Amino acid sequence: MRCEQFRELISAYIERGIASPLIEKMQEHAARCESCRTELEDLQALWQMMSRAPRVEPPASLHARIMREVYASVPATPAVRWWELAWRPRFAFAAAAVLAVIAFVLWPREMQTNAIVLSVVSSSGNPVSPLKSSMLPLRFEPFNSETGNRGWMLTISPAHPTTVEVTVGTRIVWSGVVAQQTPVVLPASPSSPVLVVRVQWDGNSVVRAWLPAQLAHAERKPVLVLKEQSIDATLAQIARAYGVPLALVGQTDPLTRVNLESTGVALDQMLQKLAEAVHLEVSRAQEGTIVLTAR
């Protein structure tokens, strides 16, 4: 394990959010690298100090007040529903045959592969692992606030009471047991062009989404050069460059590295090439929305 990989995983290591084999690699690296060991000890001390701080509970009326303000700012015409996630691990929707036809139309067999140079180095057998439980129905919707800024809302619609945790960036913004349709307003991140959202349920099942601040209404063919990027960072760059929201169903191997150079191709071709390399299925929930699911 390299020092930069160790630093990427420090927070997940402290929270015990990574698998046992990776924990052992982290411990082995810390034992022989004084710099990384010092950084880990400093961060652990900081977390211990924060855990002793008193918990501040928000007013009971805060959630209802925020929701009233959000709905008041949504235009009278409903915003485009960018996606609905309601599948089991191997299928994006129940109508799998229909999706197969769509995939065939969107991605013909003869592709200009010379426009993309892609290599993936994985430390495990499969860079993306499928869910261990059934899919949690989710929906992400964009809206414009009164100030004209782009905002996103997550709606959770569980089939039965489910413990859910929603993280934006590195901050937990909502957690609890969801028993009925529940909207969650995602906080804006003005300094970031892509909002990174992580939804975890049933202990270890995860969906991640990359929601761009600016949505593209015309097809783009940007030039991309990515060196030694993780799968998550690669998808964030693609979401930003093409101006489309992306969702990934399944856990990624944090040590997998992607090298990607593109001279400018359509999004469908770019994602199909990436999907073949990391064993994903690609589907469209709605126009402009891409869902990648572990095989």
Q: Please tell me which residue, 271 or 103, carries the higher pLDDT value.
A: 271
Number of domains comprising the chain: 2
Q: Please tell me which residue, 286 or 5, carries the higher pLDDT value.
A: 5
Q: Please tell me which residue, 115 or 242, carries the higher pLDDT value.
A: 242
Asked if residue 8 and residue 137 are part of one domain, the reply reads: no
Confidence of residue 110 (pLDDT cuts 50, 70, 90): very low
Say yes or no to pLDDT of 141 above 50: yes
Give me the sheet containing 290-294, strands edge to edge: 171-178, 162-168, 194-201, 205-212, 246-249, 290-294, 280-284
Q: What pLDDT, on a 0 to 100 scale, did the predictor assign at position 53?
A: 73
Asked if residue 39 and residue 89 are part of one domain, the reply reads: no
Whether residue 68 lies inside any domain: the answer is: no
Whether residue 243 lies inside any domain: the answer is: yes
Asked if residue 179 and residue 281 are part of one domain, the reply reads: yes
Whether residue 289 lies inside any domain: the answer is: yes
Q: Which residues have C-beta within 8 Å of that of residue 286, sequence separation ≥ 6?
A: 80, 81, 82, 83, 84
Asked if residue 162 and residue 16 are part of one domain, the reply reads: no
Asked if residue 287 and residue 188 are part of one domain, the reply reads: yes
Asked if residue 142 and residue 17 are part of one domain, the reply reads: no
Whether residue 56 lies inside any domain: the answer is: no
Say yes or no to pLDDT of 104 above 60: no
Say yes or no to pLDDT of 84 above 60: no
Contact call for residues 31 and 23 (beta carbons, < 8 A): no
Asked if residue 12 and residue 93 are part of one domain, the reply reads: no
Asked if residue 139 and residue 10 are part of one domain, the reply reads: no
- Measuring CA to CA, how many Å separate 163 from each of 135, 158, 166? 13, 10, 10
Q: What pLDDT, on a 0 to 100 scale, did the predictor assign at position 100?
A: 37
Q: What is the DSSP letter of 281?
A: E
pLDDT digits (tens, 9 = 90+) for 224-271: 999 999 999 999 999 999 999 999 988 888 888 999 998 889 898 999
Q: Which residues have C-beta within 8 Å of that of residue 220, sequence separation ≥ 6?
A: 241, 242, 243, 267
Asked if residue 272 and residue 155 are part of one domain, the reply reads: yes
Asked if residue 159 and residue 42 are part of one domain, the reply reads: no
28 is in which domain, residue-wise?
Answer: 3-51
Whether residue 144 lies inside any domain: the answer is: yes
Whether residue 281 lies inside any domain: the answer is: yes
Say yes or no to pLDDT of 7 above 90: no
pLDDT digits (tens, 9 = 90+) for 189-237: 777 899 999 999 887 788 999 999 888 888 889 999 999 999 999 999 9
Say yes or no to pLDDT of 5 above 70: yes
Q: What pLDDT, on a 0 to 100 scale, did the predictor assign at position 233?
A: 93
Instruction: Give me the residue label for tokens 């089939």.
Output: 159
Q: What pLDDT, on a 0 to 100 scale, did the predictor assign at position 19?
A: 66
Stretch 120-140: mean pLDDT: 81
Whether residue 173 lies inside any domain: the answer is: yes
Q: Which amino acid is at 184?
A: V
Which of 291, 292, 257, 289 has its CA nearest to residue 276? Answer: 292
Q: Please tell me which residue, 27 or 90, carries the higher pLDDT value.
A: 27
